[in-house]
Amino acid sequence: MSTTNMATSSNYWEDLRKQARQLENELDLKLVSFSKLCTSYSSGTHDQSDSLGSSQDNMLVAMTTELEQLLASLTSVNDKMAEYTNTPGGSSHNAALMHTLQRHRDILQDYTHEFHKTKSNFFSLREREDLLGSVHRDIESYKSSSGVNNRRTELFLKEHEHLRNSDSLIDNAISIAMATKENITFQRGMLKSIQTRVTTLANRFPAINSLIQKINLRKRRDSLILGGVIGVCTILLLLYTFH
């Protein structure tokens, strides 16, 4: 291959990588906003006006569509990168190209999983909220039509309200825990990619190997401490909820 063709081919690969990184950055920001919007929607459904609820519905639909388009675009870029690695021009550095391609594929897989997980959790929470809201509206309708306001009805309404508040607190705790888990999983994937490259360097330079081992020991210790803190906080929250 001529020098000009090699330069053109290299520029094409770099353009693809640049597109992939840009899409990954956009997806990272959008997924954080999407998760926050889903959480705020589910935690305040029954206290919102119809116009505000409709506005949030429109925002959710628009953000879902945008995320699906970004994921589709990133998938397309990854496919083009895969095609490039199979061309004669990319074979000379095939191992390095395949490593880079696999890293971008892993990131795409993590983002796709996080998007579908958040969307699925949101629809489950909204279905539960709608069911509780329907029961609440039926009770209010019964009170208005019958005019009955005895002690039994008041106790039933108070108990129902208590259960709904407890359910909302548990849902919020679960959402926070799941979001934390997803974030840790994503960070672990990114760190794993970095660790692979650092390990390669460590094999070449033995002095680095000792430092890496110390870092790994400290990382495992920090993971145990973080897991313990999350567990204790969850238990305390559940005890407070059902106290």
SS (H, E, C) 165-216: HHHHHHHHHHHHHHHHHHHHHHHHHHHHHHHHHHHHHHHHCHHHHHHHHHHH
The enclosing domain of 103 has a CATH number of 1.20.58
Share of the chain above pLDDT 90, in %: 22
Question: Each residue of 25-38: pLDDT tens digit?
Answer: 999 999 999 888 88
Question: Which of 25-29, 127-131, 147-151, 196-200 is the least confident region?
Answer: 147-151
178 is a domain residue: no
Q: Tell me if 230 is assigned to some domain.
A: no
- Give yes or no for a contact between 9 and 1, defined as CB atoms under 8 angstroms apart: yes
What sign for the dihedral angle of Cα 113, 188, 27, 53? positive
Q: How many domains does the chain fold into?
A: 1
Task: Give me the amino acid identity at 37.
Answer: L
Residue 58 lies in a domain: yes
Residue (of 115, 83, 111, 112) closest to 97 by Cα position: 83
Asked, for residue 164, whether it belongs to a domain, the answer is no
Give me the chain's average pLDDT, please.
76
Q: What is the pLDDT of residues 218-229, one digit of tens each?
A: 878 888 888 888
